[in-house]
Amino acid sequence: MIPSDHFVRFYNEVFKFLDTRGLLQAYFDDVARYAASRNLEKFKKGGLQAVYDHYLVIRKEENCDLDLEFGDGELHSYMRKCPSLSKVLDNDASASPHYCLHCPGWSLPVNTAAGLYEVYDLMEPDVPHCESWLYDDADRAVKKYRELIAAVPVSRVRTNIPPALLEDAGKE
């Protein structure tokens, strides 16, 4: 077994390699299929509570500095210090410019299939933090999306809200 700091550096180099060949999204899609095989039914049945419970386990297993706020139809997560990106940066490796896409790469497709709506702010790709909001109500997700794109560059934002619901999201 390789130490986690070596694994994460390897993971980063794999992202770079796949990206140069136009295969990074296909890789993220494969990870999403694997995540769905482990979590989709649980998320469909348990909704936001099941996702919250999942992140409580992840926070412990990955030793994340992760704040979770859950209630009133919203799960807000704030990754204060991503252990994965931190290790990439601590190893003097240049991070893949798409490194931070691995989390929404798996979560957006799984949450879409579970009927949940997610809005991600990836923040700066060279600073190990990000923030996301998850809803079971599309209107609330669209409202959060509108608030976010009014405050930050849209290039930082990822979502699984259907495009038809976002057509006028930036026009208010």
pTM to 2 decimal places: 0.89
Over the stretch 74-122, which tens digit does the pLDDT of each residue have?
999 999 998 888 888 887 668 899 999 999 999 999 999 999 999 999 9
Residues whose CB falls within 8 Å of the CB of residue 21, separated by 6 or more in sequence, listed in order: none
- The structure tokens listed for 34 are 């694997």
- The structure tokens listed for 124 are 């700066």
User: Which domains occur in the chain, in start order?
Assistant: 4-166 (3.30.1380)
Residues whose CB falls within 8 Å of the CB of residue 23, separated by 6 or more in sequence, listed in order: none
For the segment 128-145, the average pLDDT, to the nearest whole number, is 96
